Amino acid sequence: MSLTLNDIKHNKIKAWVEECIAMCEPDNVVVVDGSKEEYDALMQKCVNAGLATKLAKKENCYLFRSLPSDVARVESRTFISSVKEEDAGPTNHWIDPKELKETMKGLYKGCMHGRTMYVIPFCMGPLGSPISKNGIELTDSEYVVLNMDIMTRAGKKVLDILNADQNAEFVPCLHSVGKPLNNGETDGGIWPCADVEHKYITQFPDEKLIWSYGSGYGGNALLGKKCFALRIATVLARDEGWLAEHMLILKLTNPKGEVKYVTGAFPSACGKTNLAMLIPTIPGWKVETIGDDIAWMKFGKDGRLYAINPEAGFFGVAPGTSAESNKNALISAEKNTIYTNCALTEDGDVWWEGIGYPAKGKLVDWKGNTRDALPKDKAPKGEEMAHPNARFTAPANQCPCIAKEWEDPAGVPISAILFGGRRPSTIPLVHQSLSWNHGVFLGSIVGSEITAASTINAAEVGKIRRDPFAILPFCGYNMGDYFKHWIEIGKKSTEDKLPKIFYVNWFRKDANNEKLPGGFMWPGYGDNSRVLAWIFDRCNGDNSNVVETAIGYMPKTLNTDGLADYYKETLPEILKVDVEGWKKELADVKENHYPKFGKHLPKELSEIIDMIQDRLNKA
């Protein structure tokens, strides 16, 4: 079944691939067909090269170890290379595209010596969906091909679609690990990548082109994900009138069997994947998953927003994933999964900090060193057995709670959009915006409080790190213009058809209350279903359990059946408006957050601040 360059009939694709071959000078070129035989053969190649280990304990699962210099996205080496600097905005790194192309062409010249170039035709979104988009990734990394196979729809079926129409659009994505091999040289079992200063993750938004060099890890290298589905797609969405968002999509069913679909944006470390796969603690309710990371939403003829998950797999953070925190994620990754930078047990399984049980005997840590298992499942910072950003790449269709319509080409109609962050004070458990623009305001102020664990700068602790719409590192254009785009989307339909917007905060703290585990005033996890139930009822037009407050609509109470007494006691406190706290919040937004966007900040958002300030003064 294997494909060659001759199988590419789409002239523009062919010309671009040939141009890249001439520049990168690979030893061989393979067009990826997406078959199981091809996947198995590539994986065997990685095992033979000493880059992957087959796990005895898990069916068709493999472990890779990267290098300490290549373990995560590198924001400092990520560029929005728009023709005009202003279009990249104040929150992205920018280099003039002419200059950056010259630099990168110098690096790409001959960079695939000794390697195979893989041509991956891939589709972001269900095949045949009017919301989906195609891309071609060229890469010299087998690891990337294997991950793209899981994370996207890739191979012949996509090439066939592109071949059928000379005008079919595609996003060209060029990737190299940046480690050419001399004659006869091999990687010697060491993860290939370039030094940090030679890594470039570049988006050219004017051309809708992606060039990535020097990293083999995650979002730096699997170009369909953050580079295409967010940075380039946000630009396409702005131009074409839709939304490309860093959001989960979940399906919520109430005890009567009625269904609503919800999307949600949360900064990292707020349990986004856990929420997407939540197991409700209240009887009769059901949560199913459509997507855990990215949502593309377009208006249907009926004026509602329909969402698809552009991905086909989960690239989940392993540490902290346990039967308690996210059983469904663990089951998703039981077979046909790629693990990266997890620890390896003696009996051929993976282990990580926070997996829920201590390891036994000896472990091979993520750096490849054999060490005695720690007596507890926590390690001191920097000495973890698994890297804190260790990942599992698992097919979405293995998720026990995947919704049957997760691949519906029409998408699912969205009733509610959630925003949230880690906020120990001020922000209540849940509140609903008074209008679409007020909801856009809430998205624009999303952030988490900086803790000693998340910074090395003691002076920052306690301040809010704002991550508007949780998309800060993934917005392909000026963030102020992005806010404006959201305001514009609200004008394309009517409030009754637009999703309702909610701000949730699972992380309120009361350090003085010794009864509370971890000091948290809300249990979170499956108990977040109590909040989802209220949101569901609001979307159904239920006005029986609501109060209009200065900051928006809030529940009078929630379903507390089965909740521990100490949470019942703290609930009124986290369902209250903290008037003084909110005044400070608005002042912080006005003085420290919004000025960054200068003249690109839409006036509608400043008007919302004035409106809420006014309401707080009267409260």
Question: Under the rule (CB under 6 A), what is the footprint of ligand SAT?
Answer: 72-73, 218-219, 225-226, 315
Q: How many CB atoms lie within 10 A of CB 331?
A: 16
Q: First-to-last CA distance in the chain?
A: 70
- The C-alpha atoms of residue 155 and residue 35 are separated, in whole angstroms, by 7
When CB distances are held under 5 to 8 angstroms depending on the partner's kind, the choice from ligand SAT, Mn ion, none that residue 218 binds is: ligand SAT
The label of the residue with tokens 């409080």 reads: 449
Least separation in angstroms between residue 80's CB and Mn ion is 18
- Please say whether the beta carbons of 193 and 213 come within 8 A: no
| Phi-psi group of 289: left, alpha or beta (phi > 0 → left; psi -120 to 50 → alpha; rest → beta) | beta
**What are the DSSP calls for 34-85, one per residue?**
--HHHHHHHHHHHHHTTSEEE-TTSTT-EEE---TTSSS--GGGEEE--SSH
Smallest gap from residue 390 Cβ to Mn ion (A): 15
Closest residue to ligand SAT, judged by C-beta, is 219
For the bound state, the minimum distance from the C-beta of residue 230 to ligand SAT, rounded and expressed in Å, comes to 9
Query: Which residues, 6+ apart, have CB-to-CB distance to 194 below 8 Å?
Result: 107, 177, 178, 179, 213, 214, 215
CA distance 351 to 345: 7
For residue 227 the two structure tokens come to 């580079």
The stretches of 261-398 forming alpha helices (DSSP H) are 272-276, 323-332
Smallest gap, in angstroms, from Cβ of residue 224 to ligand SAT?
A: 10
**Residue among 72 and 579 whose Cβ is closer to ligand SAT:** 72
Report the residue number, 216 or 219, with the smaller CB distance to ligand SAT. 219
270 catalytic per annotation: yes
- Shortest spacing between CB 220 and ligand SAT, in angstroms: 7
Give the distance from CA 336 to its chain's centroid. Answer: 21
Subset of residues 276 to 315 that bind Mn ion, contact rule: CB under 5 A: 293
Of 115 and 391, which CB lies nearer to ligand SAT in the complex structure? 391
Classify strands 412-420 and 305-308 as parallel, antiparallel or unpaired. Answer: antiparallel
Q: Binding-site residues for Mn(2+), please? A: 226, 246, 293
- In whole angstroms, the minimum distance from the beta carbon of 263 to Mn ion comes to 13
**Residue 190: which region, alpha, beta or left (left: phi > 0; alpha: psi -120 to 50)?**
beta
Interatomic CA distance for residues 350 and 527, integer angstroms: 29
| Cβ atoms within 10 Å, residue 551 | 26
Looking at the Cβ atoms of 390 and 414, the one nearer to ligand SAT is 390
List the binding residues for GTP: 269-274, 391, 422, 525-528
Considering beta carbons, is residue 156 or 226 the nearer one to ligand SAT?
Answer: 226
CB of 100 to Mn ion, least distance (A): 25
- The residue (of 208 and 225) whose beta carbon lies closer to ligand SAT is 225
Q: Catalytic pick from 111, 270, 342, 401?
A: 270
Binding-site positions for substrate = 73, 217-219, 268, 389-391
Would you say 245 or 293 has its CB closer to Mn ion? 293
Tell me which residue of 54, 53, 1 sits closest to 31, measured CA to CA: 1
Closest to Mn ion by CB, 78 vs 433, is 78
- Give helix then strand counts, H and E, for the chain: 16, 30
- The entry of Mn ion, ligand SAT, none that residue 226 binds, CB within 5 to 8 Å by partner kind: ligand SAT
- Annotated binding site, which residues? 73, 217-219, 226, 246, 268-274, 293, 389-391, 422, 525-528
Annotate 560-594 with three-state secondary structure: CCCCCHHHHHHHHHHCCCCHHHHHHHHHHHHHHHH
Helix (H) or strand (E) segment spanning residue 260: strand 259-265
Query: Strand, coil or helix: what is 254?
Result: coil
Per-residue tokens: 91: 């929150």
Q: Which residues, at least 6 apart from 553, have a Cβ–Cβ distance to it below 8 Å?
A: 431, 432, 433, 434, 538, 546, 547
Annotate 119-145 with b (16+ C-beta within 10 A) or e (fewer): bbbbbbbbeebebbbbbbbbbbbbbbb
C-beta closer to ligand SAT: residue 226 or 387: 226
* Spatial CA neighbour of 355 closest among 370, 373, 337, 371: 373
Closest CA to 311 of 151, 173, 465: 151
By three-state DSSP, how is residue 150 classified?
A: helix
Instruction: Report how far residue 619's alpha carbon sits from residue 605's, in angstroms, rounded to the nearest whole number.
Output: 21
Other Cβ atoms closer than 10 A to 300: 16
Name the minimum Å distance from CB 323 to Mn ion.
23
The site partner of 219 among Mn ion, ligand SAT, none (C-beta below 5 to 8 Å per kind) is ligand SAT
Count of residues touching Mn ion (by CB under 5 A): 1
245 binds Mn ion (CB under 5 A): no
Q: How far is the CB of 492 from Mn ion (least distance, A)?
A: 26
Active site residues: 270
Q: Which residues bind Mn ion (CB under 5 A)?
A: 293
